[in-house]
A and B are shown apart, each in its own frame.
Chain A
Amino acid sequence: MKIDIKFKPGYAMATISLKEGDKIRAESGAMVAKSANVDMITEKTSRGGVLKSLKAAFFGGESFWMNLFSVKNGKGEVMLAPTLPGDIIEEELNNNVLYVQSTGFLAADAAIDIDTKFQGLRGFFSGESLFFLKLSGQGKILLSSYGGIEKRNVNGTFIVDTGHIVAFDETLNYQVTKFGSWKSFLIGGEGLVARFTGHGNVWIQSRNVPVLGQWLRNSLPPKKG
């Protein structure tokens, strides 16, 4: 499986060359184009109930359905892109575990296990669209960011605004706290931050997804319920 990322960093798009036996699982709606001999199967990622996933797909909330791409005969390619403007980077898992923020996940080798039922960080986060996927196994993964992306090696303590987190290694300890004092938290405009400690990588994005959402929320007229 060869991955080529074009149009970095503003409107990145990944072209994945597939040969027989290669399979890649992508976020729903991520397909831009594909060769005619590339097959797509829609499947549920987690082991959760079908009804629950159906409910999520139809009534908003996160889609737990992903698309699995493979090539029928010979070689083929599939192009993938995220919804928001921004970058894509390729990483490789080698039996380690990575937590990826839901909008930061673009695609992964089918050998990678994706656990959508992981709720560890949910509830701490203010924005409802912020929840994390737990990725484990061996293979290539593609992360996408709103804005640019930077991989930061943490050795000690590092503090990141929750809306700017794309992914982080399981080896890091994290604690979600308010920003500074109560006064800073309430009027400092930073919301919640994650305090990472230990050794590992954090991938951060240069724009904040919930902030864009809030901006749209305030700019768009309300819809009738």
Chain B
Amino acid sequence: MSRFWDNGCEIRYPPKKDEKQMKHEIIGKPDFPVVKIILDKNESVAAEAGAMVSMTKNIAIETSARGGIFSSMKRMVFSGESFFQNKFTAKDGSGEVIFAPETMGDLHFRNLNDETLILSRGSYVCGSVDLKIESQWGGFKSLFGGEGLMFQKVSGKGNLFFSSFGAIDEIDVKGEYVVDNGHIVGFEPALDFNIEKVGGLKSLFLSGEGFVCHFRGHGKVYLQSRNHSSFAVWADGWRKVENRQ
């Protein structure tokens, strides 16, 4: 296995089998992975602002409000994404870019073939420029969810890389399944869901579980083995307390 700091001078990847498949390698799974993408001449990849780790010198960066100003604004305000996104294009021959997610944890690849995937906010790392990324309101039923209020809807044809806090587990739901809101990375839109509380009234305040997503139908759910809200609450508990003047 090559290491992520190996430079892109020597490209050992086989030619592309599929025009839509980017040459890539995810290195360092599952704890601290990065994705190394080898771009052919004039091939591009889009990424969330701040995701780039390193790149060869022949890569041109174009920063834009992807999908227009309105859609970028919506994405920034509602799904916690950056207003601008970067597009990386290899000029004069092939080149290499390495991207890393924000969180400690895994990076997952999925090829979307005219499909849609709903991701929780902040999960998108990078992918084909043709993929459409929209913020989507979870509807009134998600109002109590906090976490689930806004989702990112990724659709179209192309490669998608998304990240998790902790490891990613893929669950094939057939029937019903219940997932803690803070542990959802994404799911397929074929699944119907309801935001509910788990347990009785006492559990609402004392279980530490908050709200859960009750899925019904057939489809995949991606879940993460750690919960960033719980971690943030834990970290907050260590903060110094300053007396009000």
Contacts and interface: CB of A to CB of B under 8 A. Distances in A.
Interface of A: 6-7, 10-13, 27-36, 38-42, 54, 57-58, 60, 63, 65, 67, 79, 81, 83-85, 129, 213-214, 216-217, 220-225
A7 B207 contact: no
B179 interface: yes
Given A11-B226, A35-B176, A35-B178, 19 more contacts: A10-B166, A11-B30, A27-B208, A28-B209, A29-B207, A33-B178, A39-B199, A40-B198, A41-B199, A41-B200, A42-B202, A58-B205, A81-B227, A83-B227, A85-B104, A213-B237, A213-B238, A223-B239, A225-B242
Contacts of A83: 226-227, 230-231, 234
5 contacts: A7-B166, A60-B237, A67-B209, A81-B226, A225-B244
A36 B176 CA distance: 6
Contacts of B239: 216-217, 220-223
A11 B166 contact: yes
A31 B30 contact: no
A12 B239 CA distance: 27
A10 B237 CA distance: 23
B205 A217 contact: no
B244 A224 contact: yes
Contacts of B242: 222-225
Interface string B22-59: 00000000110000000000000000000000000000
Given A81-B166, A223-B239, A225-B241, A36 B226 contact: no
Residue among B202, B238, B244 with most chain A CB within 10 A: B238
A32 B167 contact: no
Interface string B138-178: 00000000000000000000000000001101010001111
B interface: dominant SS = mixed
A85 B205 contact: no
A12 B167 CA distance: 8
A40 B241 contact: no
Given A6-B167, A33-B183, A40 B231 contact: no
A219 to B, nearest CB: 9
Given A6-B169, A33-B179, A67 B225 contact: no
The 7 lowest CB-CB distance pairs between A and B, nearest first, are A29-B208, A28-B208, A7-B167, A11-B166, A36-B176, A13-B225, A10-B31
A221 B41 CA distance: 47
A41 B179 CA distance: 16
Contacts of A213: 237-238
Contacts of A217: 238-240
Interface residues of B, number: 45
B43 to A, nearest CB: 33
Nearest to A63: B208
A88 to B, nearest CB: 10
A12 B199 CA distance: 25
Contacts of A6: 167, 169, 225
A32 B241 contact: no
Contacts of B226: 11, 81, 83, 85
Contacts of A13: 166-167, 169, 225
Nearest to A30: B208
Nearest to A210: B238
A85 B238 contact: no
B223 interface: yes
Contact of B225 (A7, A65, A224): A7
B176 A57 contact: no
B203 to A, nearest CB: 4
B177 A36 contact: yes
A167 to B, nearest CB: 20
Contacts of A41: 199-200, 203
A119 B192 CA distance: 48
B225 A40 contact: no
A32 B179 contact: yes
A74 to B, nearest CB: 12
A168 B50 CA distance: 44
B177 A33 contact: yes
Contacts of B209: 28-29, 31, 40, 67
Contact of B166 (A34, A36, A85): A85
